[in-house]
């Protein structure tokens, strides 16, 4: 590997010519590809000074996605505004930018990510950067880079700096040969999408780093997440968000899945609560590194019926997208989350009627909601 040799030779020459006459110890760390990941033990970084606190210092990657902004809001209430840093490669909206610390971070740029962790004394990292299922299938090379190479960068940095690392997984980590009703924590996983493959990879790599390097890795398999705070982002379960927007704006909704396609779902507040709870759980309480979590399971037809209790004039039609339908047909119908409920006390708050009422409340649809008789 000539690049590594050239870099090593340059570093040795630099150390030998050091004007201070003192030895500088170089600590090797794990490598990805041919990048020599080394740092001088007395290297000097510009660090912002913060008051000492028992609160974690949190970095959220991919922070402008469906879950990042909501998680930042929850964590800032818990740990303080300046202890939680959102990051992404996109420009944030004004309300996000002024709500707390935000920085540019590209997870494919190892050096940039490492500097952020060091300069801001990060202790907890939530890794949300990923391309979702349908979007990933449309651009497999990009999904492979973001979802797998980016994860490798995060794992190495987390292990090196002794971070508590959370990486979400998904119902998409299962495949057509997995038991579907219910799907347990431990079973055959043979997903048919690059998104699912990358999430199985994340689960296994995180567990490996935990046992090999002592990394405090924690992971939850999310069901479909429903939120009023964000627009659908290319996922197979996004129909369950789109129906609310269309019910309010046009009174017409066209679903891209079959009416009887049953999938596990969850309101975002339950998802964020579970994420914080598993991160705060004592290490000795965790019997595994990756858990299923669930709240409810429904089909498009059942969701439409519940929505029509609020908007009776809603017209629902079905135009099945073959790609999304094939993905959904390979996913669990119900999650078995008994281990999470036993180990760290997971308990959801929202069932389907509460979810629908809450969504309409947050979307400000009073003018269209009719009173159900």
Sign of CA dihedral 291, 295, 297, 300: negative
Task: Kindly report the average pLDDT of the chain as a whole number.
Answer: 86
Name which of 352, 369, 244, 217 is nearest 297 in CA terms. 352
Q: Cα–Cα distance between 173 and 191 in angstroms, integer?
A: 6
Name which of 247, 243, 226, 231 is nearest 369 in CA terms. 247
User: DSSP string of 269-286?
Assistant: HHHHHHHHHHHHS-GGG-
Which of 190-194, 217-221, 353-357, 366-370 has the least mean pLDDT?
366-370
Q: Cα(first)–Cα(last) distance of the chain, in Å?
A: 74
pLDDT reported for residue 45? 32
230 assigned to some structural domain? yes
Domain extent at residue 227: 11-18+56-372
Catalytic residue (choose from 195, 222, 239, 267)? 195
User: What's the average model confidence in pLDDT over 335-349?
Assistant: 98
User: DSSP string of 46-113?
Assistant: --------SSPPEEEETTTSTTHHHHHHHHHHHH-GGGEEEEESSPPPHHHHTTS-EEE--TT-HHHH
269 assigned to some structural domain? yes
Higher per-residue confidence, 323 vs 105: 105
The confidence band for 281, taking pLDDT boundaries of 50, 70 and 90, is: very high
Q: Cα–Cα distance between 303 and 326 in angstroms, integer?
A: 20
166 assigned to some structural domain? yes
pLDDT above 90 covers a percentage of the chain that reads 76
Q: Cα–Cα distance between 220 and 224 in angstroms, integer?
A: 12
Q: Locate all alpha helices (DSSP H) within the chain, ordered by sequence.
A: 2-16, 68-79, 94-97, 110-119, 133-138, 140-144, 150-160, 194-213, 239-249, 268-280, 300-308, 322-329, 338-343, 352-362
The SS3 assignment for 225 reads: strand
44 assigned to some structural domain? no
Q: Cα–Cα distance between 16 and 51 in angstroms, integer?
A: 38
40 assigned to some structural domain? no
Q: Cα–Cα distance between 228 and 262 in angstroms, integer?
A: 21
- Look-up: residue for tokens 């922070």? 63
204 assigned to some structural domain? yes
Distances (CA, A) of 344 to 32, 138, 163, 349: 34, 38, 21, 16
User: What's the average model confidence in pLDDT over 152-161?
Assistant: 98
Label residue 243 left, alpha or beta by phi (over 0 means left) and psi (-120 to 50 means alpha). Answer: alpha
User: What's the average model confidence in pLDDT over 308-335?
Assistant: 94
Radius of gyration over every alpha carbon of the chain, rounded to an integer in angstroms = 23
280 assigned to some structural domain? yes
pLDDT exceeds 50 at position 34:
no
33 assigned to some structural domain? no
| In contact, 66 and 77? CB cutoff 8 Å | no
| In contact, 20 and 44? CB cutoff 8 Å | no
pLDDT tens digit sequence for 157-187: 999 999 999 999 999 999 999 999 999 999 9
Which of 158-167, 228-237, 337-346 has the least mean pLDDT?
228-237
Q: How many residues does the chain have?
A: 373
Q: Cα–Cα distance between 340 and 337 in angstroms, integer?
A: 6
| In contact, 339 and 292? CB cutoff 8 Å | yes
225, two tokens: 């997440």
Higher per-residue confidence, 188 vs 50: 188
- β-strand 84-88 against 164-166: which pairing, if any? unpaired
pLDDT reported for residue 234? 66
Number of domains in the chain: 1
pLDDT tens digit sequence for 106-136: 999 999 999 999 999 999 999 999 998 888 8
Please indicate whether residue 211 is annotated as part of the active site.
Answer: no
CATH at 227: 3.40.50.720
Q: Cα–Cα distance between 6 and 213 in angstroms, integer?
A: 29
347 CB-near residues (< 8 Å, 6+ apart): 341
The confidence band for 53, taking pLDDT boundaries of 50, 70 and 90, is: low
Global pTM exceeds 0.85: no
């Amino acid at each position: 590997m000539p690049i590594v040799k050239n870099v090593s030779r340059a570093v040795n020459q630099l150390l030998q010519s050091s004007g201070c006459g003192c030895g500088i110890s170089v600590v090797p760390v794990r490598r990805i590809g041919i990048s020599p990941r080394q740092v001088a033990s007395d290297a000097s970084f510009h660090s912002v000074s913060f008051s000492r606190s028992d609160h974690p210092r949190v970095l959220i990657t991919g922070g402008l996605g469906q879950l990042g902004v909501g998680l930042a809001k929850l964590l800032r209430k818990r740990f303080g505004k300046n202890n939680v840093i959102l990051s992404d490669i996109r420009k944030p909206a004004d309300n996000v930018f002024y709500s707390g610390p935000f920085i540019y971070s590209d997870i494919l740029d190892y050096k940039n990510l490492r500097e952020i962790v060091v300069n801001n004394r990060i202790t907890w990292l939530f890794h949300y950067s990923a391309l979702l299922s349908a979007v990933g299938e449309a651009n497999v090379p990009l999904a492979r880079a973001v979802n797998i190479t980016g994860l490798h960068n995060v794992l190495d940095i987390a292990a090196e700096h002794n971070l508590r690392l959370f990486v979400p997984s998904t119902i998409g980590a299962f495949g057509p040969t997995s038991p579907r009703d219910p799907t347990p924590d431990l079973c055959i996983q043979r997903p048919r999408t690059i998104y699912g493959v990358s999430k199985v990879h994340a689960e296994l790599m995180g567990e490996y780093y935990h046992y090999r390097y002592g990394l405090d890795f924690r992971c939850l398999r999310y069901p479909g997440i429903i939120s009023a705070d964000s627009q659908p982002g290319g996922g197979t379960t996004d129909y369950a968000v789109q129906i609310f927007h269309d019910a309010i704006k046009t009174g017409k909704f066209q679903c891209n899945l079959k009416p009887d396609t049953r999938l596990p779902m969850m309101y975002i507040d339950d998802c964020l609560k579970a994420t914080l709870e598993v991160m705060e759980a004592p290490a000795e309480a965790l019997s595994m590194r990756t858990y299923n979590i669930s709240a409810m399971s429904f089909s498009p037809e059942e969701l439409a019926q519940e929505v029509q209790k609020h908007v009776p004039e809603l017209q629902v039609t079905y135009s099945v997208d073959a790609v999304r339908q094939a993905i959904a047909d390979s996913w669990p119908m119900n999650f078995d989350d008994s281990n999470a409920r036993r180990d760290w006390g997971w308990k959801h708050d929202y069932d389907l009627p509460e979810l629908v009422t809450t969504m309409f409340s947050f979307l400000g649809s009073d003018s269209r909601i009719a009173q159900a008789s």
